[in-house]
Every structure is written in structure tokens, then in C-alpha cells.
Amino acid sequence: MTGTILLFACLICGSTGGEIAITYGMKSVGEPARLRPKPLLIFLGRALRSGWFWLGIPLMALSFYSLLLLLSWHPVSFVIPVSALSYVVGTLGAKYILGEDVSAARWIGVILVCAGVALVAAG
């Protein structure tokens, strides 16, 4: 039980923490000048030199391995609905860490998506 809770914490915090780090990195890199192969390659090159990117990758890997372990212990219809909590945790992170302005409409949308993913995986 304790192991399961710990793994869910790693799964949710790892994926949202990793994605927030990558978002932060990408925002500081700036958007590619045009969506053509060459500007995209230059953009990727700059992204790969960002420390935030390399902080995000191991966090996402941690979350991925937690997911694999959880799936070997419990059915998908339990693991995915619980992991859908990461939509709420991610939105909180976006608001308080990244300083994004999360409007009421966006909050309602996120909660609907969270409930929807839980239902799809449980059904």
C-alpha cells in the first residue's frame, strides 16, 4: 500500500515536474522563427543545450518507470484514473510555478478532462 502511494507520488510529481521544467526551458529558448526544417533544427539545438530540458528528462523517466511498476501490480483501469490527478497537479504547477493565468473556464475544462480520462480508463 505504502509502495503504491509512493509510486503514484513519483508518477504524478515526476510527469508534472518534468513537463513544467521542459516548459520553462522552452519558454526561455523562445519559439522557432518558422516551422521549416532548418529553423526547427536550430531551435532543437538550443533546446538541447538548456539545463531545464535535462532536468525534465530524468523526471519524466522516473514517472515512466513508476508507471511500468504500477501497471505490473495493478490493473490499467485503476492506475490510469488515479494518474489522471496529474492534470490537476499540473495546472496548479502551471499557475504557481510558471505563473500562468488559469481562468475559471480553463479550470472547469481541466477538471472535465480529468474526470473524462478517469471514466474512459475505468470503463
Partner 1 sequence: MVLAMVVCANIGDLLLKLGMTQIGAVEFTAPGLAHAFRETVTSGTIWLGILFLLGFMVSYMTVLSWADYSFVMPAGAFGYAVLTLLAVIFLHERVSPGRWVGVILICVGVLLVGQTRPRTTEAALQSKVTA
Positions in the binding site for partner 1 (CB under 8 A):
19-20, 22-23, 26-33, 35, 39-40, 42-44, 47, 87, 90-91, 93-95, 98-103, 105-106, 108-123
Residue 61 or 108: the one with the smaller Cβ distance to partner 1 is 108
Shortest separation between residue 21's beta carbon and partner 1, angstroms:
10
The amino acid at 108: I
Shortest separation between residue 52's beta carbon and partner 1, angstroms:
11
| Separation between Cα atoms, residue 37 and residue 78, nearest integer Å | 41
Shortest separation between residue 2's beta carbon and partner 1, angstroms:
25
Residue 5 or 30: the one with the smaller Cβ distance to partner 1 is 30
DSSP string, 31-97: --SSSSHHHHHHHHHHHHT-HHHHHHHHHHHHHHHHHHHHHHHS-HHHHHHHHTTHHHHHHHHHHHT
The amino acid at 99: G
